Structure 1
Amino acid sequence: MKPIQVKDIRKLLQGELISGSELWNVRNAIYYNRHGLTKRNTLMFVSRSDSVNWHEINTKGPSLVISDKPSSELKNALSDTTVIKVRSLVQAYWKFMDYYRNLFQIPVVSITGTCGKTTTKEMIKHILMKDWNVQASISSKNEPRQSLPYLTGIDQNTKAAVFELGLGNSGNIKHQCMIYQPTIGIITNIGVHHLDGCGNLEGYIKAKSEIVDGIKPNGTLILNADDANTKKVPLHSFKGKIIYFGVNKMSDFRASNIRFTKNGMDFNVHLSKKRYKAFIPGFGEHQVYNALAALAAVNEMGMNIQEAISRIATYKNMSRHLEFSSGIGGSTIIDDTWTNNPTSVEAALKVLDSIGVSKNVILVLGDINRLGNFEKKYHREIGSLVAERNIHTLITIGSKAEEIAKQAMEDGTKANVHVFKDVTGVMNVLKPMLDSHAILLIKGPMSSRSMIDFANSLKENK
């Protein structure tokens, strides 16, 4: 965080100094009771309902408390704590966030989509970080509550920021865009997810579309030209620049001649009537789409496309994202337990179509959560996708995933089907099948520690 003097913060918020000194600099910011207080020189927003441990705050002093609690409560602060009373904590919070964001005239990228958010964010960071100090959200920790520490992680040395936007409910993306005020927005794709918070697919598309109005004036929107649901995003109100990526010939960043190679994907990038050879570690056409979105973003920031392509070739694929490992008995294990939704399942199955030829393909699928009233429908659709393929064994784990098995059998799958309520007993079925001819894909929700651990147990030397 760029240091800011307490006196300047008080003036900005038009607050009343209740106690303590204002002649020191704030170097961190949190929302009390949402983020842990771990550092000195921290500004904290304290709501009326928060129970305050004044001793803890004081031990990390100097500390700054901004609150709309009654003055009688705020006077309990100890000597190393400065207290500023404001009329409305919510208004003070947003005023501070807007002030802090606009201290920096740097590229800020915000990314949403059903799949590929984290990977695209990490690709952009990887490409830029050789030359630039880049602030980015951590892993897939993309909840709105993380926005304050992520934003204030920008400082005077930051050259660019890249943030992933989480969506659990309608309004989440709008909220985060108000904080980050992105200059570049990316929608990787829109599939099916979080229908419990958005009502239905139309509500989910509408929630994803919030990024359009969240981009700063004259900013850039990067969209998947080939994604059917992204085409439903209303763009009439957007006055900035739009860049499309995909395999469609109308794409500004277009991929062609996509091929599986030993460690990833070879493809050509077409841009401004020129063609460039490219490679991205990690398997699947979806990985090429992620790379195109990342290349479009860094090119928009001014990076030479040839240089960006050379850097993305050294990107290290994330763990549990279609991660290949040697497994029991010489088998191949594909661990895709990072996330689980219909879009990511379909992408993983397409990878199996290419690399599972002449292999005994084993598919282990867990529950897909957050589908609301559409759980049965989308699990059944996956069952139909499975039935279309040459799969040797299908194993489902969980009560929701059982619908996958039912539909696959109804559709006449040739796979041997096994249904389990949890991972207990699954290894007994699998172990005799695991040899050098077996390739096993395991997908489950990231919230399922048991499936993550089970995936690791299938790997050699784990």
Structure 2
Amino acid sequence: MKPIAVNDIRKVIGGKIITGPVNWKVEDAIYYTRHDHTRRNSLLFARRGDSINWVAIDKKGPSLVITDKSSINVKEVLPNTTVMQVSSLVQSYWKFINYYRNQFQIPVVTITGTCGKTTTKDMIKHMLSAIWNVHASVSSKNEPRRSFPYLMGIDEHTEAAVFEHGLGNSGNIKHQCMIYQPTIGIITNIGVHHLDGCVNMEGYIKAKEEIIGGIRDGGTLLLNADDQNSKKLKIHNFKGKIVYFGKDAKSDFRASRITYGETGMDFVLHVGPEEYSAFVPGYGEHQVSNALAALAAVHEIGMDLKIAISRLTTYETMDRHLEFSKGKNGSTIIDDTWTNNPTSVEAALKVLDSIGKGKKVILILGDINRLGNFEKKYHREIGSMVAERNIHALITIGKKAEEIARQAMRDGSTANIRMFKDVGDIGNRLDHLFDDQSIVLIKGPMSSRGMIEFARSLKQ
């Protein structure tokens, strides 16, 4: 955080100093009860109903407590703590956020989408970091409550920032955009996810649309030209610049001649009349799509495309994102346990279509969560996808995933199909399937430690 004088904060939010010193600077800011207070020189927003531990706060003093409590017992407040009283904590909080965000005239990129958010974010950070000091959200830790601390992570040395949006319910992205105030917004794709919080696909698409209204005036929106659901987004009121990426002919950043290379994907990038040979580590056309979005973003920021393309080749793919390893009995294990939704399953199956030719393909699929009332529908659709393919064995784990197996059977799959209630029931019952001709894809929900550990146990 860029240090800010206590008196400057008082002027911004119109607060009243009740007690404590003012001749010092705030170097961190949190919302009391939502975030951990770990640093000295911190600002803490405390609601009128919060029970405040003045002793703990003072130990990390100097501290500034901003609160809308109507009565404060000054005798409880210790000497290293400054108390600023405001009439509305919510209004003061947003005044402070706007004030702090406006301290920085830097490019801020935010990303949403069903799949590819974290990868695209990390690609952007990796490319830009070659020349700039970049601040970014951590891994896929994208919950709305983390947005305020992430904003506070921008300081006077930051030259660009890139953040991932979390979406559990409608309103989440809007809230985060109010904090980040992005200059560039990206929607990687819109598949099926979080239908429990958004009711149905229409609600989910509408929730994704929130990023469009959250981009700063004069900003840029990046959209996937190949994605059918992205075509349903209401963009007619967006006043900024729209850049499309994809294989579609209308794409401003277009990929052609996509082929599987060693450890990744080769493709030709078309930008206007220019063509560039490019490579992105990681398998699948979806990875090329992520790369196109990332390249379009850094180009919009001002990075030379040749430098960006060169930097992209050194990007390190994330753990458990179609991660290839040697496994039991010489098999090949593809660990894709980072996330599990219909879009990511389909993308993984398409990768297998290319690299699994002539191999014994074994699918180990777990439950897909957060599908609301459409749970059975989408599990069955995956079962039909499996039945269309030459699969040696299909293993499902979990009650919901049983629908995948049953639908595959109904559709006439010739795979050896087995269903397990829990990953702990498997033991070594599958070991006989694995040999040097086997390629094993394992996908399960991110929240399932059991599936993650099981995937790890299959690797050498």
Deviation string for 1:396-432 (max 9, x for gaps)? 1111111111101100111111101111232422211
Counterpart in 2 of 1:70?
Answer: 70
Counterpart in 2 of 1:422?
Answer: 422
Contact kept, 8 Å, 2:195 with 2:370, in 1: the verdict is yes
Residues 74 and 211 (structure 1), Cα distance of their counterparts in 2 relative to 1, 3 Å cut: farther
Offset of residue 384 of structure 1: 0.5
Counterpart in 2 of 1:251?
Answer: 251
Deviation string for 1:137-166 (max 9, x for gaps)? 000010110011100100111000000011
CA–CA separation in structure 2 for the residues paired with 1:67 and 1:333? 54
Offset of residue 433 of structure 1: 1.4
Aligned: 1:226 with 2:226: yes
CA–CA separation in structure 2 for the residues paired with 1:262 and 1:104? 41
Counterpart in 2 of 1:280?
Answer: 280
SS in structure 1 of the partner of residue 72 of structure 2: helix
Contact kept, 8 Å, 1:384 with 1:408, in 2: the verdict is yes
Aligned: 1:290 with 2:251: no
One-letter amino acid of the counterpart of residue 235, structure 1: I
Offset of residue 215 of structure 1: 0.4
CA–CA separation in structure 2 for the residues paired with 1:50 and 1:368? 38
Counterpart in 2 of 1:433?
Answer: 433
Counterpart in 1 of 2:400?
Answer: 400
CA–CA separation in structure 2 for the residues paired with 1:131 and 1:157? 13
CA–CA separation in structure 1 for the residues paired with 2:342 and 2:49? 40
Counterpart in 1 of 2:306?
Answer: 306
Residues 421 and 206 (structure 1), Cα distance of their counterparts in 2 relative to 1, 3 Å cut: same
Counterpart in 2 of 1:340?
Answer: 340
Offset of residue 116 of structure 1: 0.2
Range that drifts further, 216-225 or 61-70: 61-70
Counterpart in 1 of 2:146?
Answer: 146
Offset of residue 288 of structure 1: 0.2
Contact kept, 8 Å, 2:424 with 2:450, in 1: the verdict is no
Deviation string for 1:196-225 (max 9, x for gaps)? 110100000000001111000010000000
Counterpart in 2 of 1:96?
Answer: 96
Offset of residue 74 of structure 1: 6.1
Counterpart in 2 of 1:50?
Answer: 50
> Gaps (5+ residues) in structure 1?
none
TM-score of the superposed pair, with normalisation by structure 1: 0.98
CA–CA separation in structure 2 for the residues paired with 1:192 and 1:423? 25
Offset of residue 73 of structure 1: 4.6
Deviation string for 1:350-391 (max 9, x for gaps)? 001111111111100111111111101111111101110111
One-letter amino acid of the counterpart of residue 99, structure 2: Y
Counterpart in 1 of 2:353?
Answer: 353
Contact kept, 8 Å, 1:190 with 1:227, in 2: the verdict is yes
Offset of residue 50 of structure 1: 1.9
CA–CA separation in structure 2 for the residues paired with 1:75 and 1:123? 52
CA–CA separation in structure 2 for the residues paired with 1:409 and 1:429? 21
Residues 348 and 73 (structure 1), Cα distance of their counterparts in 2 relative to 1, 3 Å cut: farther
Contact kept, 8 Å, 1:108 with 1:162, in 2: the verdict is yes
Counterpart in 1 of 2:205?
Answer: 205
SS in structure 2 of the partner of residue 66 of structure 1: strand
Offset of residue 47 of structure 1: 1.1
> Gaps (5+ residues) in structure 2?
none
- Matching of residues 357-368 of structure 1 within 5 Å: 357-368=357-368
CA–CA separation in structure 2 for the residues paired with 1:413 and 1:308? 44
CA–CA separation in structure 2 for the residues paired with 1:19 and 1:389? 71
One-letter amino acid of the counterpart of residue 220, structure 1: T
Residues 74 and 437 (structure 1), Cα distance of their counterparts in 2 relative to 1, 3 Å cut: farther
CA–CA separation in structure 1 for the residues paired with 2:174 and 2:353? 38
Offset of residue 274 of structure 1: 1.1
Offset of residue 19 of structure 1: 1.0
Deviation string for 1:148-195 (max 9, x for gaps)? 110010011100000001100001001101110100000000001000
CA–CA separation in structure 2 for the residues paired with 1:269 and 1:62? 53
Residues 302 and 74 (structure 1), Cα distance of their counterparts in 2 relative to 1, 3 Å cut: farther
Counterpart in 2 of 1:191?
Answer: 191
SS in structure 2 of the partner of residue 213 of structure 1: helix
Aligned: 1:107 with 2:107: yes
Counterpart in 2 of 1:175?
Answer: 175
Detail structure 1 runs of 4+ shifted over 6 Å in the superposition: none
CA–CA separation in structure 2 for the residues paired with 1:26 and 1:354? 55
CA–CA separation in structure 1 for the residues paired with 2:381 and 2:304? 42
One-letter amino acid of the counterpart of residue 333, structure 1: I
Contact kept, 8 Å, 1:19 with 1:75, in 2: the verdict is no
Offset of residue 75 of structure 1: 5.3
Offset of residue 48 of structure 1: 1.9
SS in structure 1 of the partner of residue 76 of structure 2: coil
SS in structure 1 of the partner of residue 424 of structure 2: coil
One-letter amino acid of the counterpart of residue 418, structure 2: H
Counterpart in 1 of 2:23?
Answer: 23
Residues 81 and 134 (structure 1), Cα distance of their counterparts in 2 relative to 1, 3 Å cut: same
Aligned: 1:271 with 2:271: yes
CA–CA separation in structure 2 for the residues paired with 1:454 and 1:240? 47
Counterpart in 2 of 1:85?
Answer: 85
Offset of residue 272 of structure 1: 1.3
One-letter amino acid of the counterpart of residue 12, structure 2: L
Contact kept, 8 Å, 1:18 with 1:71, in 2: the verdict is no
